Amino acid sequence: MQHGLILPCIFPLVFVDFIALQNPQTGPAGASCAPLVAAALPVAAVLCPTHPTTTTVEIHPDSPSLSNPTHLSKMPTPKETAAPEGPPDLEPLQDLTQPLALRSKRTERRRKKLEKKEASSRRSSSALGGEPIGVLHLPVELLLAILELLRPSDLFALSRVSKQLRAFLIADEAAIVHRVVNLRYPILQRCLLRPLLMVDVDPSLQPLLRMPERPDLNRSHRIAHQNIPPPDDAFHCTCLTCIVRWNALCAVVDLAHWQDHLDNGVPIPIIKRGASVPAWNRELLDRHRRVVLKALTSPLWYARILEAHLDSTTRSIRRHSQNKSDRRRHFLLTHEDERAGTDAFLQRNGPPTFDYPYSRELYYMLEAFLPGRSWLAERQKWVYLSQSREWHNTDLDMLAKMVAARRKAGVEDSGNQPCSAHSDREDAPNLAESEVQQLADVSQSGRAVME
> Is the same domain home to 360 and 217?
yes
Per-residue pLDDT at 438 exceeds 70: no
257-302 pLDDT tens trace: 999 999 999 999 988 887 888 999 999 999 999 999 999 999 999 9
Per-residue pLDDT at 109 exceeds 70: yes
Q: Is 412 in contact with 406 (CB distance < 8 Å)?
A: no
pLDDT at 235: 92
395-412 pLDDT tens trace: 888 888 888 888 888 755
Please indicate, yes or no, if residue 399 is contained in any of the structural domains.
no
What is the Cα–Cα distance from 337 to 343, expressed in whole angstroms? 8
287 sits in which H/E element: helix 279-297
Domain boundary among 48, 71, 94: 71
> Which DSSP letter does residue 375 get?
E
Per-residue pLDDT at 213 exceeds 60: yes
Q: Is 347 in contact with 382 (CB distance < 8 Å)?
A: yes
Domain boundary among 369, 401, 422: 369
Please indicate, yes or no, if residue 284 is contained in any of the structural domains.
yes
Mean pLDDT of the chain: 76
> Is the same domain home to 62 and 205?
no
> Is the same domain home to 200 and 346?
yes
pLDDT at 122: 73
pLDDT at 195: 94
51-65, 95-109, 403-417: which has the highest mean pLDDT? 95-109
Q: Which residues pair with 384 in a beta bridge?
A: 373
- Any alpha helices (H) in 148-214, and if so which ranges? 152-158, 163-171, 173-184, 186-191, 206-209
13-55 pLDDT tens trace: 555 555 555 555 544 444 555 555 555 555 555 455 544 444 4
Question: Residue 65 is which amino acid?
Answer: S
Q: Is 172 in contact with 146 (CB distance < 8 Å)?
A: no
Q: Domain count for the chain, please give it.
A: 2
Residue-level length of the chain = 451
Please indicate, yes or no, if residue 64 is contained in any of the structural domains.
yes
Domain boundary among 338, 369, 400: 369
pLDDT at 136: 78
Please indicate, yes or no, if residue 340 is contained in any of the structural domains.
yes
pLDDT at 329: 85
Identify which has the larger pLDDT, 415 or 244: 244
> Is the same domain home to 45 and 190?
no
The residue segments making up the domain with residue 246 are 185-369
> Is the same domain home to 194 and 67?
no
pLDDT at 96: 84
pTM: 0.63
pLDDT level of residue 118 (50, 70, 90 thresholds): confident
**CA separation (Å) from 176 to 48, 140, 300, 429?**
108, 11, 9, 42
